[in-house]
Amino acid sequence: MKVLKFGGTSVGSPSSIKEVANIVRNVEGQKTVVLSAMSGTTNSLHEISDHIINYREEEANDLIDQMIGKYVDVVDELLTEKTNQNEAIALISDRFEFIREHVGIEIPSTQIEKNIVAQGEILSTNLFHFHLKEIGASATLVSAFDFMAIDDANEPVISKITEAYGKIVAANEGIEIFVTQGYICLSHTGKIDNLKRGGSDYSASLIGAAILAEEIQIWTDIDGMHNNDPRFVENTFSLKELSFDEAAELAYFGAKILHPQSVIPARKANVPVLLKNTFEPKAPGTIIKNCEVPNGVRAIAAKDGITAIKIKSFRMLMAYGFLKGIFEVFEKYKTSIDMVTTSEVAVSVTIDDTTYLNEIIEELQEIGSVDVDTDLSIVCLAGDFSEQKTGLSTPIFNSLSNIPIRMISYGGSNYNVSLVISTVNKKEALVALNNGVF
Ligand code: ADP
Ligand code: ASP
Ligand code: MG
């Protein structure tokens, strides 16, 4: 079994959906197709839920009507048989009625949002499945709610995914294509939940690892992982091969082509991940696997929304137990730390989830004096630096001679050098590093 995931742009129009069906049918053997919502849908659904949560009923209803119109047009163009068209229109009405029912109901706003944004993937997978039926493909639609689950710490429950999805596959032996939703899942209390923005990549990796797939393919709108962020830097190029470690660092530190956690299940199960371009299927793309990689910097990524917290010890020299005390505060508030740097008297850490920032600061102030900087980015240079003992830092720091650096991290692993800078300087830093490092 191969797992093929198609992102929002790949299923963004009736013609793209048809192209996806072609690609899928050209891949031999059994496959699981994981789909995102059509591009723009998740954003619009967030907007609707925002209107509903803030009691803007009219705006919510207008946007719902607009989306229904858009989806009816998709059905007109995608499907040809009247019975399929009617069933698809009935499904669209049903899903948007479900969304409308949230107006004025008494449940937490976070749950309203989760219920509403989940509908995008339900719509795209149903439409794709109708199309497969029309072209005579051997396919079945599987609800992600039947196997994709997260626990009370929002971590995927691998055992449940393995067992439940394995049973589904076993029960459909002769079927060639299993279509399911990316992104959505059930929470530990059985409520509708999701794997965070861009989470369909993570769904594909979790499924691929659970069933020990032959390969996980991530089909998107670019020909694989580039050496730098193409949204900010010109003349970037696609990398043919990446190790799991390099890809994991790049995804975690902002390479948007992959959800931050999405490499981890595949790496653990040693299932290769192939990144491919739906709009240029012949381009080789990038293969992520266990492999030897050339030494030196291979790619650069940047992650925004970073907050740095500096804790200065009340005592002059760092006493033992100082770091433990700091980390315990973050553990208590389930806030993960991305980067750590230390000096004799102070420690700086970065976080990206500021939900409990105030509580964290209050408790840290019992340990030392606390400074907080916001609107920062982590720039990550990924590669294998194990052999490169000298000369590594010169091109990096020369490139950044005009950019103030807040933190530097190297040596945690052999696979990255990370720097924290102000987000306003990010583009300049990425371009300068591109010119200086490659
Ligand atoms: P999808 O909807 O298919 O999941 P995304 O928009 O999430 O697609 O991811 C693909 C986009 O990631 C590309 O269009 C590109 O702009 C962006 N991107 C950022 N960094 C990189 C990188 N290093 N390599 C390739 N694409 C990148
Ligand atoms: N549709 C979701 C999003 O836009 C998940 C995904 O595309 O991977 O974030
Ligand atoms: Mg994505």
Encode the chain (438 residues) as per-residue pLDDT tens digits. 999 999 999 999 999 999 999 999 999 999 999 999 999 999 999 999 999 999 999 999 999 999 999 999 999 999 999 999 999 999 999 999 999 999 988 888 999 999 999 999 999 999 999 999 999 999 999 999 999 999 998 999 999 999 999 999 999 999 999 999 999 999 999 999 999 999 999 999 999 999 999 999 999 999 999 999 999 999 999 999 999 999 999 999 999 999 999 999 999 999 999 999 999 999 999 999 999 888 889 999 999 999 999 999 887 565 778 899 999 999 999 999 999 999 888 999 999 999 999 999 999 999 999 999 999 999 999 988 887 667 888 999 999 999 999 999 998 888 889 999 999 999 999 999 999 999
Ligand nearest to the CA of 256: 1
The position carrying tokens 């076993």 is: 170
Look at residues 232, 209, 226, 256 and name the one whose alpha carbon lies nearest to residue 9: 256
pTM of the complete model: 0.95
* Sequence spans of domains, the chain: 2-222+257-291, 298-437
Ligand nearest to the CA of 246: 1
Separation in Å, CA 48 to CA 52, 121, 398 = 6, 16, 47
Index of the ligand 1 atom closest to the CA of residue 300? 23
Please give all residues whose beta carbon lies within 6 A of any atom in ligand 1, as ranges: 7-10, 36, 198, 220-222, 225-226, 229-231, 255-257, 301
pLDDT single digits (tens) 229-285? 999 999 999 999 999 999 999 999 999 999 999 999 999 999 999 999 999 999 999
Ligand nearest to the CA of 196: 2
For residue 42, report the distance from its CA to the centre of ligand 2, in Å: 6
For residue 77, report the distance from its CA to the centre of ligand 2, in Å: 23
Ligand nearest to the CA of 11: 1
Instruction: Give the separation between CA 32 and CA 211, rounded to whole angstroms.
Output: 10
For residue 115, report the distance from its CA to the centre of ligand 2, in Å: 14
- Which residue CA neighbors atom 6 of ligand 2 most closely? 198
For residue 359, report the distance from its CA to the centre of ligand 2, in Å: 31
For residue 246, report the distance from its CA to the centre of ligand 1, in Å: 16
Evaluate whether 396 touches 230 at the Cβ level (below 8 Å).
no
3-class SS at 141?
A: strand
Separation in Å, CA 338 to CA 49, 56, 324, 357, 390 = 31, 38, 16, 15, 26
CATH architecture designation of domain 2-222+257-291: 3-Layer(aba) Sandwich (3.40)
Asked if residue 368 has its Cβ within 6 Å of ligand 2, the reply is no
Q: One fold for both 2-222+257-291 and 298-437?
A: no
Asked if residue 36 has its Cβ within 6 Å of ligand 2, the reply is yes
Instruction: Give the separation between CA 415 and CA 248, rounded to whole angstroms.
Output: 10
3-class SS at 179?
A: strand
3-class SS at 99?
A: helix
CATH 3.30.2130.10 fits 298-437, yes or no: yes
Index of the ligand 2 atom closest to the CA of residue 201? 8
For residue 247, report the distance from its CA to the centre of ligand 1, in Å: 13
